[in-house]
Amino acid sequence: MRKLQIGVIGYNDDRCSEVAREIAYKVGKEIALSGSVLICGGLGGVMEAACKGAKEANGNTVGIIPQDKFSFANQFCDIVICSGIGFARDFIVATSSDGIIAVGGGIGTLIEMSVGYMIKKKIVAISPSGGVSEVYAGKYLDERKRVLIESAPDAKSAVQAILKDSKS
């Protein structure tokens, strides 16, 4: 049986706060403890912290990077997919995830949330992490109300929300 794939999206290095890094690390750890696979954009910041948390809990990580060289991926990615398509890879991250957890984030995170929203993926935003996660937690992205962006206060409740939905 296929393992559940949980996407983790959020800030890259340049804007990632220590709070967001710590939350992302805990999200990665919770994903690993659940037996799920972590899917992410494979770079730094939230992605690297989440992958590190997953690896330290003996989990599996997949990084889908925008570049065409493996060396761009963070050191905690087990599997690196070099998309070579730039940030259009945000579509692959979102569509390859059974559910998506947002930690902080800017426009790239919002793109991934939007893709998930359009295809009605479960999306959980950890509101204390800042960025677009804080802005959109508990809201819809537009008037169509396709998917409520659920709000979670912490890593454990965010992962549990994805797991609960996958069993329905």
> Domain for residue 96, yes or no?
yes
User: What's the number of domains the chain is made of?
Assistant: 1
Nearest to 131 by CA among 109, 160, 100: 109
- Give strand ranges (E) for 11-114: 37-40, 60-65, 79-82, 99-103
Q: Percent of the chain scored above 90 by pLDDT?
A: 95
- Residues 163, 140: Cα–Cα separation, whole Å: 21
What's the pLDDT band for 166 if we cut at 50, 70, 90?
Answer: confident
Amino acid in position 77: C
> What CATH number does residue 45 fall under?
3.40.50.450
pLDDT value at residue 132: 97
**Rounded mean pLDDT, 5-9:** 98
Mean pLDDT of the chain: 96
pLDDT > 70? residue 163: yes
What percent of the chain is helix, strand and coil (3-state, nearest 5)? Answer: 45, 20, 35
> Domain for residue 167, yes or no?
no
> Domain for residue 141, yes or no?
yes
pLDDT > 90? residue 14: no
- Residues 30, 61: Cα–Cα separation, whole Å: 13
What's the pLDDT band for 27 if we cut at 50, 70, 90?
Answer: very high
**Rounded mean pLDDT, 19-34:** 98
Task: Note the pLDDT tens digit of each residue in 52-79.
Answer: 999 999 999 999 999 999 999 999 999 9
Return the structure tokens found at 61.
């990580």
pLDDT value at residue 168: 62
The boundaries of the domain holding residue 32 are: 5-159
Helical (H) or strand (E) element with 7: strand 5-10
Q: Percent of the chain scored above 70 by pLDDT?
A: 99
Return the structure tokens found at 94.
């979102």
**Rounded mean pLDDT, 86-109:** 97
Side-chain-side CA neighbours of 3 within 13 Å: the count stands at 16
Task: Note the pLDDT tens digit of each residue in 120-149.
Answer: 999 999 999 999 999 999 999 999 999 999
